[in-house]
Amino acid sequence: MSNPDEAALNALRHIGPDPANWVPAHDGIDHNVVVVGGGQTGRTFSFALRRAGIGGVSVIDAAPDEPHAGVWLTRARMQKLRTFKVLPGPELGVTALGFQAWYEARHGAAAFDAIDRIGRTDWADYLRWFQTFLDIPVRYNTRLVRVEPGSGHLRLHLEVNGEPRVETTRKLVFGNGVVGAGGPALPAVLTGLPKAFYAHTSEDIDFTSLAGKTVGVLGSGASAFDAAAVALEHGAGAVHLFVRRAQIASVPIARTRGYTGAYDNYRHLPDAVRWGQAIRYREAGSAPPVDAINRAIAHANFHIHLASEWSEARIEGGSVIATAAGGEHRFDFVIAGTGYFADPNGRPELADFADRIALWRDRYTPPAGLEDRFFGAHPYLGFAHEYVEREPGFAPFLKDIHVYNPQGFVSFGFPTGDVPSIKRDVPLITAQISRDLFLADFDDHAERLVGPMGPDFEPDLYAGSVWSPQRARASVGG
């Protein structure tokens, strides 16, 4: 039987061995780069930095083990990925390491042709193979608690297997997804309820406990429909989904991702254009995929309430009583599929200096009618996703913190950190890390570049072929 990974093995052989680490060691520095998040992002950055010749890279994740890292086997509840099946991903141009090659090696080309999009669990299996095949180490049970600026480095306060530890790094990459961007956006109408009566889609939800019960779902995006469908599949008596708008958004906001010129150069657009695009997204709403809608509406006990934003919620008789569109509704449990906020001030690990990070509200004043507090709280990121100082000169270390999560929405056009943004943003950030480390150590590199070098060979090797009159006469005489 042939080895299903033979093409991948040949691809690694063809691109050659990983370059040697060229980054000089520094006393008192534990790592050159620490990546927070061991899911698809951490594994991709590990591969990219390795191929750039940058050693001293550590990928950390608070999850206890590989299956719990990332979202695919935890908070993600879709049946299929939202993105095209042929979208470039962690393989970074080495196609034999990509999903299609992996899938076809195991199931055949016809099987790949037959799927319209990638199954969620198939993607999780692929990422596990990617990590194992490339021998990418991830330090699990390692939680970042606090980032403390140091002199030419960052001090990371960690909890490793529950024990406190401090490590140092020169560069830090946040690749920890939507939760790492800020936190769940919970409607105010729910915050006064006892926690036992509601959950956000970012949380672990015991759907088996909802069998036979009436469930309310707030939101009309993909996560709201996914949660509704899973509740129904686990036997919920009825699920009612409430939408603020008069209809469910159906505009493909992500069309810019298929417009390569705009997507690849988005960071160079004027602030007014980037802000306007974010507002357009907000006004149109986040459209769920058709299959997510079909999955829910296949159940006769699923009900959609349009133009029905909740105005009040209270506990009465052991149930949640909600008021929406002038009517009252009774639920045993409520799920908020209301997305996330992105704000460095909401991240406890950044508490030492979050107020020194430039936000969009610090850099851009929109015209009347286009103000937005949610977008104003997003960080105003540099070209390589690095934090920018609110006041120049007061926090120069911020350039060493790169943000590859949805905090980059306004700056880069989409909530970065997902599969579609890998092709554009991971090489961009990796190149900047390489450049910064190289220039910071240029004295060491300059010595290496101009220092004495031993010869590859001695002049005796070619002495017999050096032209001279005597050799010319001898040649004629011969």
For the chain, the domains span 6-175+417-443, 186-249+285-338
Distance CA 105, CA 118 (A): 15
Q: Which two tokens stand for residue 110?
A: 């016809």
Q: Is the pLDDT of residue 272 over 60?
A: yes
DSSP state, 80?
Answer: B
* Rounded alpha-carbon distances, angstroms, from residue 398 to 154, 208, 380, 392: 10, 45, 12, 11
Strand partners, 295: none
pLDDT digits (tens, 9 = 90+) for 55-83: 999 999 999 999 888 889 888 899 999 88
Instruction: Give the H or E element holding residue 447.
Output: helix 442-450
Tens-place pLDDT, residues 152-197: 899 999 999 999 999 999 999 999 988 888 999 999 999 999 999 9
pLDDT band at 267 (very low <50, low <70, confident <90, very high): very high
Strand pairing partners for 142? 160
Strands 142-149 and 57-60: unpaired
Residue corresponding to tokens 């990796």: 430
Convert 256-268 to b/e letters by CB count within 10 Å (16 or more is b): bbeeeeebeebbe
Q: What is the mean pLDDT of residues 218-225?
A: 95
Count of alpha carbons within 13 Å of 44, Cβ hemisphere only?
A: 34
Q: Given a cut of 70, is residue 253 above it in pLDDT? A: no
Least confident of 49-53, 440-444, 446-450: 446-450
- What does the radius of gyration of the chain's CA atoms come to, in whole angstroms? 27
Looking at residue 75, the DSSP 8-state letter turns out to be T
Percent of the chain with pLDDT over 70: 97
What's residue 133's pLDDT? 96
Predicted confidence at residue 257, as pLDDT, reads: 59
Q: Determine the pLDDT at residue 276.
A: 94
Does 186-249+285-338 match 6-175+417-443 at the fold level? Answer: yes
Average pLDDT, rounded, for the chain: 93
DSSP 389: B
Cα separation, 471 vs 466, in Å, equals: 8
Which tens digit of pLDDT belongs to each residue from 286-296?
A: 889 899 999 99
Class of domain 6-175+417-443: alpha beta
Tally the residues of the chain.
478
More confident residue, 238 or 464: 238
Query: Residue 333: helix, strand or coil by DSSP?
Result: strand
Give the integer Cα–Cα distance in Å for 193 and 218.
15
Q: Measured in Å, how far apart are the chain's first and last C-alpha atoms?
A: 64
DSSP 390-429: SSTTS-GGGGGEEE-SGGGHHHHSS--SSGGGHHHHHHHH
Q: How would you class 246 by CB atoms within 10 Å of its CB: exposed for 0-12, middle for 13-18, buried for 19 or more? A: exposed
Using 50, 70 and 90 to split pLDDT, how confident is the model at 1? very low
CATH number of 186-249+285-338: 3.50.50.60
Please work out, in degrees rounded to the nearest 5, the angle formed at the alpha carbon of residue 409 by the alpha carbons of 116 and 167. 105
pLDDT mean over 249-253: 66
